[in-house]
Chain A
């Protein structure tokens, strides 16, 4: 069975586990770097990106996470996870993992009282998708080769760059598990092609 990890340092871990399981895949909560070895894909959940970064550094996750991405296994970042994946963050000199070719801006829709729900069309995933945005970042620009999957109010909110998937909203907070399905399919494809190689 496809094994999908959820980085379990802080944030909406339980909800991602649920949407992986709803799609019939196996979910693993990843609390230590060694656990990255036997999973086919990794979700970086929503939470507080500054907190997650501190814990990533503390437990020596930085290099193992980069190597995981560079091995060709898919990674999916939601909200804070998207910020961790991005190659460029507005107002910061250095990115976190810097794996996905996008530029993001933190808290770009405002503070919590401006947090919202909106209906989106997400390419290859859903025509009508209810997305939950919480103190959300947005993708300021998609780099070369990065495909824009969804926009909200003229801002890019979901994109795919090779085996990296990212969105600025929280698919794990609703009962619509179609994005998790899309990511599990990415992991299956990668698993098959890495096995051939």
Chain B
């Protein structure tokens, strides 16, 4: 029996496809998420919009919170480690967390190196804004990708930009001649072998979810329409007026993302969604998507 193989790690993410992964900060929220049909929960100390508001250094959650969430639900539990923080990642792995997010939402521990994720038994998800970044993370062993978007803003514009960019670059790559790929690798700063594999298979070798700014059922459906395999919702759910109803609506809109009448029904009287942030009002150095490389 072999544990921690690429197939087992990537396969875990395949099982999440078409689903919604929700940020939760305690057992009670985790249960609401599971009841609403979330495919997994992300256990955090604070949701991204609160991290943004609090400022200072954001770190791995208190293991007590992670443990509490793991005990509360039977669906998989994810948790975030700081970029490059080997020990936070190992601690979460040792606790039995099902999936780790090497996340720009937390303050990076290393501004130069990301984790060598292939060394871990637990699978990782990482953020990306373009194909170069996606391929570098796959090269390091990420088993799942997500758009970075701009976390905690409730503004979908950056996630849209990122998924369109990655997918356009994949399409371009697939139509290239083999002798053009090394130069593309150089231009993107991407590992050659990963690009070759993407060209051969016609798509990314791991699933790519949407994250960073999903605030409404229509936002979730938009990201599915643009080719996301599933959706992460951070601050959107538990910052809304009626989290249970909101969570169910996001799940259904993700499943039936092209059923516009249904989405209209789901979107009725959901109450106030989280208050959004205009990206240009965030100083470039405060944008979480700029963290990592």
CB contacts (< 8 Å) of B76 on chain A: these are 48, 112, 135
Which residues in chain B, 21-60, are within 8 Å of chain A measured between CB atoms? 34-40
Interface pick from B149-157, B172-180, B250-258:
B250-258
Inter-chain CA distance A91–B230, complex, in Å, is: 30
Secondary structure at chain B's binding surface: helix, strand, loop or mixed? loop
Inter-chain CA distance A113–B36, complex, in Å, is: 26
Interface pick from B7-15, B61-69, B236-244, B276-284:
B7-15
Q: Closest approach, in angstroms, between the C-beta of A25 and any C-beta of chain B?
A: 21
Knowing that A12-B15, A173-B14 are A-B contacts, what are 4 other residue pairs whose CB atoms are under 8 Å apart, sorted by A's residue number? Answer: A31-B255, A51-B37, A111-B97, A114-B3
Let me know if A58 is at the binding interface, CB within 8 A. yes
Let me know if B122 is at the binding interface, CB within 8 A. yes
Subset of 30 A-B contacts with CB under 8 Å:
A9-B255, A11-B16, A11-B18, A11-B19, A13-B17, A15-B14, A46-B14, A47-B15, A47-B18, A48-B15, A48-B19, A48-B75, A50-B37, A50-B74, A55-B37, A55-B252, A79-B15, A107-B74, A111-B96, A112-B76, A112-B99, A112-B123, A113-B3, A113-B96, A113-B98, A132-B7, A135-B15, A135-B98, A153-B1, A173-B7
B2 touches A117 (CB 8 A): yes
CB contacts (< 8 Å) of B3 on chain A: these are 113-116
CB contacts (< 8 Å) of A196 on chain B: these are none
B17 touches A48 (CB 8 A): no
| Known pairs A48-B40, A117-B2; A173 contacts B11 (CB<8 A) | yes
Inter-chain CA distance A81–B93, complex, in Å, is: 28
CB contacts (< 8 Å) of A135 on chain B: these are 12, 15, 76, 98
Interface residue count for A (Cβ, 8 Å)? Answer: 38
Inter-chain CA distance A158–B233, complex, in Å, is: 36
Let me know if B5 is at the binding interface, CB within 8 A. yes
| Known pairs A51-B75, A112-B98, A173-B7; A46 contacts B255 (CB<8 A) | no
